[in-house]
Copies of this chain bind each other. A is one copy, B any other.
Amino acid sequence: MPVFGSIEAGGTKFRCAIAASATDIIAQADFRTRTPAETLADIITFFTESAAIHGEIAALGIGSFGPLDLDPASPCYGSIVRTPKPGWSGFNLRAALMAALACKVSIDTDVNASGLAESRLGAGRGLPSLAYITIGTGIGGGLIQSGRPLHGFAHPEMGHIRPRRAAGDNFPGICPYHGDCLEGLASGAAIFARGGRHLANLPEGDPLPAIIADYIAQLCCTLLLFAAPYRIALGGGVSSSNPGLFPLIRRSVSQQLSGYCGPLALDEIIVAPALANDAGLIGGLLLAGVMQA
């Protein structure tokens, strides 16, 4: 039985895994993100040592931080376009791993990989479409339609939409490009920049959770009006640490739509991910072409 490799490439750590099926990870290791050369050395050692025990991987799938060049016709296909992380801007992660491991390597964004896993095996299992949103240090999203991540001439960057200002919110925002785009106003970093506190530590009655929910709800409404996904899975650290956000977000979505899309079962549509921390790794395996069951 062939084994497949997966990498969840993050700004803080790289998670690596080997599996024969999407739900059965055989070996797994995490490495702190340093320079590309240092990080890649650890990754290659992991896959080489695993190969000695479990056999060579048939293919590798990567869900990576970005932005990424995902145009198969580009000479930079598979590279990280630009990032403040030293050494990573322009680094071709896919090409480097393909050369080192001598196997087929598929790459997509971290959110598309997680969304793919949630769509096929998690919160969207059996449904035609799912949107995956991560609300962590930043905000990102992907739309999985018929089991495939949606791409245009670039991958989605839906964390940078421009929400209408929530009543009473004058925070200028922290996005270096847009100031008060969604990520600039409602990401984990933005929440912390608003006063050095996390949502979970706020006193009863603090208006901030409702403000953040208003902004996240605007992204959910836009998704519903653009693509009507059967599920919107809200992942990332801010979502998982603050389950109380979910009812606030659903209420705000309902208010913002004002009944326009008919009665919607928002409890069923706007949900937590089902695969928790493994969505990214499982998504990488699916990108690699692993069997789903």
Residues in A lying within 8 Å of B, measured CB to CB: 81, 128-129, 143, 145, 150-158, 160-165, 177-178, 218, 221-230, 256-262
Nearest-neighbour CB distance to chain B for A209, whole angstroms, equals 20
23 contacts between A and B (CB under 8 A): A128-B152, A143-B226, A145-B150, A150-B227, A152-B227, A152-B228, A152-B230, A153-B228, A154-B228, A154-B261, A156-B225, A157-B225, A158-B226, A161-B225, A162-B218, A163-B164, A164-B164, A164-B165, A177-B259, A177-B260, A222-B222, A222-B226, A226-B227
Collect the chain B residues with CB atoms within 8 Å of residue A161's CB.
221-222, 225-226
Contact A227 B156 (CB under 8 A): yes
A273 to B177 CA separation, bound complex (whole angstroms): 31
**Chain B residues near A81 (CB-CB < 8 A):** 262
User: A151 — which chain B residues lie within 8 A by C-beta?
Assistant: 228
Overall SS of chain A's interface = loop
What residues of B have a CB within 8 angstroms of the CB of A259 in the complex? 177
**Contact A177:B129 (CB < 8 A) given known A226-B222, A228-B152, A230-B153:** no
Q: Which residues of B contact A163 (CB under 8 A)?
A: 164
Q: How far is the CA of A218 from the CA of B225 in the complex (A)?
A: 14
Across the interface, which residues of B come within 8 angstroms of A223, CB to CB? 226
| Docked CA distance A151–B153 (Å) | 20
Within the complex, what minimum Cβ distance (angstroms) separates A67 from chain B? 8
**In whole angstroms, what is the CA distance A164 to B228 when docked?**
22
CA distance A128 to B223 in the complex (A): 21
- Ranked 3 nearest A-B pairs via Cβ: A152-B228, A154-B228, A177-B260
Q: How far is the CB of A56 from chain B (nearest CB, A)?
A: 33
Q: Give the residue of B145, B150, B160, B256 whose beta carbon is less than 8 angstroms from that of A225.
A: B160
Known: A152-B129, A152-B230, A153-B230. A225 touches B260 (CB 8 A): no
Question: How far apart are the CA atoms of A4 and B218 in the complex, in Å?
Answer: 42
With both chains docked as a complex, state the minimum distance between the C-beta of A261 and any C-beta of chain B, in angstroms.
Answer: 6
